[in-house]
Amino acid sequence: MLSGQYHFTPNDDIKEAYTYASSLRHEKARVKIKLIKEKDPYNLLVYHIENYIDFFEIFIREEEDQFKFLEKNKNLRLEQIKKGDKNDPFFRFCQAEIHLHWALVRLKFGQKFTATREVYSAYILLEENKKLFPQFANTYKSLSIIRVLAQSIPGVVRFLFGIESSIVKGTREAKFVYDHSKNEGSIFKDEIAIIYAYILYYQNNRKEEAQSILEKSFPGRTDNPLISFVTANMALKNGKNDLAIKILSERPKGKDYIEFHYLSFVLGKLKLYQLDKGSKVYLESFIKNFNGRHYIKEALQKMAWYHWVIEDDINGYQYYMNRIKNEGYDLIDEDKQALSEARSGIIPDKDLLKARLLFDGNFLNKAYQVLNDKQDKYTNGAHQLEYNYRMGRICHELHKENEAINYYAQTLQSSEKKSYYLCNSALQMALILEKNNKLSQALDYIKLCLSFSPDQYANSLHQKAKSAKLRIEETERQKFSK
């Protein structure tokens, strides 16, 4: 290589810097990056790795002042990368990744229009890269993310931008890069495994397969807080609450790592689902130390629930519910739901709330026992609606599908059309029918789900319904094309 020639070389120094950055050991990453710039000043991959540091810090901390201060780095790094060789597959890939990182960050701060433009810029670069270098696997890592993101972009914008939203194609691309990373080795191997597992879980409803991918990729890994979070979250999604608690309790922390207060919140919730008094210290730690935008109202709500269900302390419940009205933001479904409960002034029924917590922790038999002998207690109104919904969800997860269908059907008879209980009951009915290959009936319930506009969780429920609709329609197209 000629002296002074710009290049993209994923050598051992670059790999080590990426490992530090992606495991949140950012001071070590910065030291390594400084050494690379001195030792190998023309290796432009260093700017891509450097961008990871800003991305993770802003995404995890959610501090607007830090976001505004670091935002200028985006264009400075793009200018450096554009000095590279256009005939190198990393040339467009690195630019696309930087656009994509900042798009994801902007969504945290409600900058949807700018984020959409950045996603589109990344998409154009990656599609061009795919044509020029079809065997460059890293391209498909980012493309698979964009195809998932495109489902949440309003249809007219997606149409104008021409981003193809396909679960089948996105999954195929993610599998391609995942297989390649295992066989060839990749600087982004861990990241690729996480992306593939999440696409399997959220877009394809292939829960056990997603869990298996993570277990094979990260056996006993305790060196990366992000991996701890991802594996714990997937364990919880698959009903392994004890495993999730173990993973988070053993997560790496200390002066080498940036603070990841959200993990304390997750651990607090997991212990609350067990009705464990130890949940309090973790929830309090998050509320006290986190200075970001999301989950503050939800954390206050969970503290209120702790006092009501575990301590039988109505004053403690009301204290934390009152704080919800004045602290945090209501930008995401969980925080909106917490604020709605606080504003309503309605104290939840203790048994229904206890069953909800046990269900969320996958203590299904305990949740069933709490409610099964109390049917006569809930004979009308809001409590009857919630009882039918909760029993539907519990029976569904216990694989008592006939009982679940019966409870969902009773829930859907309610006149409370703004309740998310009806919207999710329709969605869950669709998922049961899809599982049993009754695709036409499943689509009817998806349509019913999308017809509801619940006051809570509308975005997430409708997104899940749209993913299911795309999945079923693609399955039917493949069936008829054979």
Q: In the predicted model, is pLDDT for residue 227 greater than 90?
A: yes
Q: What is the mean pLDDT of residues 20-46?
A: 97
**449 pLDDT tier (thresholds 50, 70, 90):** very high
pLDDT over 70 percentage in the chain: 95
pLDDT over 90 percentage in the chain: 75
Mean pLDDT score of the chain: 91
Tokens of 11: 């050598």
pLDDT score at 3: 41
Residue ranges with strand state E in 252-320: none
Q: In the predicted model, is pLDDT for residue 151 greater than 80?
A: no
pLDDT score at 48: 98
Spell out a b/e string for 288-307, using b for 16 or more CB atoms within 10 Å of the CB, else e: eebebbbbbbbbbbbbbbbb
What would the DSSP string read from start to end of 221-254?
A: --S-HHHHHHHHHHHHHTT-HHHHHHHHHT---S
Tokens of 445: 């319930």
Beta bridge partners of 43: 7
Question: Measured between alpha carbons, how far is 79 from 65 in angstroms, rounded to an integer?
Answer: 24
**157 pLDDT tier (thresholds 50, 70, 90):** very low
